[in-house]
Amino acid sequence: MTVETGSGGAAKTIDRRRIAGLTEAEQANFRERTRASAERFERALKVMPGGVPSSFQQNDPWPTYIERGDGARVWDVDGNEYADFHNGFGVMCIGHANPKVGAAVKARVDLGTHFAAPTDGSIVVAEELQRRFGLPQWRFTNSGTESTMDAVHLARGATGRDVILKIEGSYHGHHDAVMVSVYPELEELGERDDPRSVPYGAGYPRALTDLTRAVPFNDADVLESVLNKLDGQVAGLIMEPAMMNINIIPPVPGYLARVRELTAKHGVKLIFDEVKTGATISYGGATKRFGVTPDMITLAKAVCGGYPGGAIGMTGEMAEIVASGKVHQYGTFNGNPLVMAAAEAALTEVLTEDVYRKLEDTNEQLKSACQDIIDRYGLPAYTEGMGAKGCVIFSSEPLREYRDYLTKVDGELSTLAWLYHMNHGIFMTPGVEEEWTLSVAHSGEDVERYLAAFEAFATDVTSATATAPAAFGG
């Protein structure tokens, strides 16, 4: 991680009026470039709330409607071409229209796509996940939400306890037990060593959300005192081993090992939510990268090669609870043959062990070149990342937990950087909290394009004369 802000460590003072002017100019540019998306939006609003299939796709002034993708590139309905660093919220690590995954799926289509009976594909994929992550037993789901929901049920079923601990400022899908303290506002937080349980939106009964308690990331002492206070009540702790929904925050050295020790001591099931990290930050995800083994691992996103699937890894003890029917782990489409064909090809033919070294190398190049721009222009920012994941974080100090993210990240610069990327042919996740995901298809040319957009942003933000920047020719 690099934290210097500007050569000699001196960050430039950011001229807020200039940022407001540039944001306005880039927004106008964005609207001009995405007129067909605006038309789709108008039509979509009549049939889908917010004009989108999932609220995470909403965006101001409208979402960018995508027509197609190929390798590291996507094209929107206006015909703009982008190098894709959004990658479907971190799913498309295999690159778009990957021929190996495509061939496996096409072959499966001709053999029938659904039986609700096990096929060889589920055995092969479970064996591969066992090899990668080290946990012996696996079940399948249809999304990250289902994976974390089932893992919470399993923790409660195994322990006979009700309370779930989670990390403040983390997202684990949209079921009752985890839609708590996701992105609470500053004034809602409560004490750091005893945060309030804040429901994320309406629709979750208080009786349920009160059973979920938050603790800060990277602080095993607070975890220890909460576990002592709630001794005998906590079923499980669900956490991302490296936080990936408030930019990227890695665990400090020794933190995960202590979490493992404390949860084991208190009979609390430890769930690593590797929906984002699983198939992206190493061959064996965060579990192998950081060398700490939980009781359960939840997966989705990149593991199924662009198809809607997920998985839960578990110890033999947890598997017995499932196999005996003590906790019911169900789903008509679990282990669907089409999804398994995609997962098998993605994991065994595309995301092979050597590929992670290449992803890491490309990521390091991108991160260090971004850091160089940050230093040269004196931006209050630093780079963070691992494996296929990385980001520029607009904070002059490194983040350790959600409260840092809330108080230190410069939302205006983050939003403006996003607009520059989009207007310069870089497809990026909207919002302040996300990161880039590389795929096996990203080349030096894609990295160069990203850097050109970021440098244009850095130049305009720090230069003395305010002029509206030219758009990238799409």
Ligand X SMILES: Cc1ncc(COP(=O)(O)O)c(C=O)c1O
What is the edge-to-edge ordering of all strands in the sheet holding 436-437? 382-386, 389-393, 436-437
Number of Cβ within a 10 Å radius of residue 264: 12
Q: Is there binding between residue 435 and ligand X (CB under 6 A)?
A: no
Chain residues 254-313 in contact with ligand X, contact rule CB under 6 A: 273, 275-276, 300
Strands across the sheet containing 163-167:
137-141, 310-314, 296-299, 269-273, 234-239, 163-167, 212-215
Q: State the minimum distance, in angstroms, from the CB of residue 274 to ligand X.
A: 8
Within 77-96, the residues that bind ligand X by CB under 6 A are: 89
Establish whether the linkage from the previous residue to 61 is cis, with ω within 30° of 0: yes
CB of 170 to ligand X, least distance (A): 7
- The string of DSSP codes covering 199-227 is BSSSSS-HHHHTTEEEE-TT-HHHHHHHH
Q: Residue of minimal CB distance from ligand X?
A: 144
Distance between CA atoms of residues 174 and 182, nearest Å: 10
Residue 78 appears among annotated catalytic residues: no
- Options 40, 172, 442, 449; binder of ligand X; rule CB under 6 A: 172
Minimum distance of ligand X from residue 300's CB (angstroms)? 4
d(CA 179, CA 191): 19
Tell me whether residue 405 is one of the annotated catalytic residues.
no
Of 138, 139, 124, 112, the C-alpha closest to 338 is: 112
Give the other-Cβ count within 10 Å of 253's Cβ.
8
In whole angstroms, the minimum distance from the beta carbon of 273 to ligand X comes to 5
* Closest to ligand X by CB, 55 or 467: 55
Cβ neighbours of residue 325 closer than 8 Å, sequence gap 6 or more: none
Q: Is 166 a catalytic residue?
A: no
Q: Does 144 bind ligand X (CB under 6 A)?
A: yes
Provide DSSP, 415-446.
HHHHHHHHHTTEE--SSSS--EE--TT--HHH
Give the residue with the Cβ less far from ligand X, 416 or 438: 438
Quick check: 148 binds ligand X (CB under 6 A)? yes
Six token digits for residue 67: 């027509």
Q: Is 429 in the site for ligand X (CB under 6 A)?
A: no
Q: Which stretch binds ligand X (CB under 6 A): 70-78, 165-173, 187-195, 400-408?
A: 165-173
Q: Cα–Cα distance between 270 and 264 in angstroms, integer? A: 8
As a whole number of angstroms, the distance between CA 209 and CA 189 comes to 15
- Decide if residue 143 touches ligand X (CB under 6 A): yes
Examine residue 181 and tell whether it contacts ligand X (CB under 6 A).
no
Q: With binding defined as CB under 6 A, does residue 171 bind ligand X?
A: yes
Nearer to ligand X, 241 or 380 (CB): 241
Active-site residue among 273, 375, 446, 460?
273
Is position 150 an interface residue for ligand X (rule: CB under 6 A)? no
Touching ligand X, residues 309-338 (CB under 6 A)? none
Find the catalytic residue in 301, 420, 446, 450. 301
Task: Report the residue number, 52 or 123, with the smaller CB distance to ligand X.
Answer: 52
Binding test (CB under 6 A) with ligand X, winner from 29, 218, 245, 247: 245
How far apart CA 36 and CA 14 sit, in angstroms, is 34
Q: Please give the Cα distance from 148 to 274 (Å, whole number).
A: 10
**Interaction between residue 414 and ligand X (CB under 6 A):** no
Give how many residues touch ligand X by CB under 6 A. Answer: 14
Told to check if 141 binds ligand X by CB under 6 A, we report no
Does 385 help bind ligand X (rule: CB under 6 A)? no
H helix count then E strand count, the chain: 16, 16
CB of 259 to ligand X, least distance (A): 16
Residues in contact with ligand X by CB under 6 A are 89, 143-145, 148, 171-173, 240, 245, 273, 275-276, 300
Tell me which residues are annotated as active site. 171, 273, 301
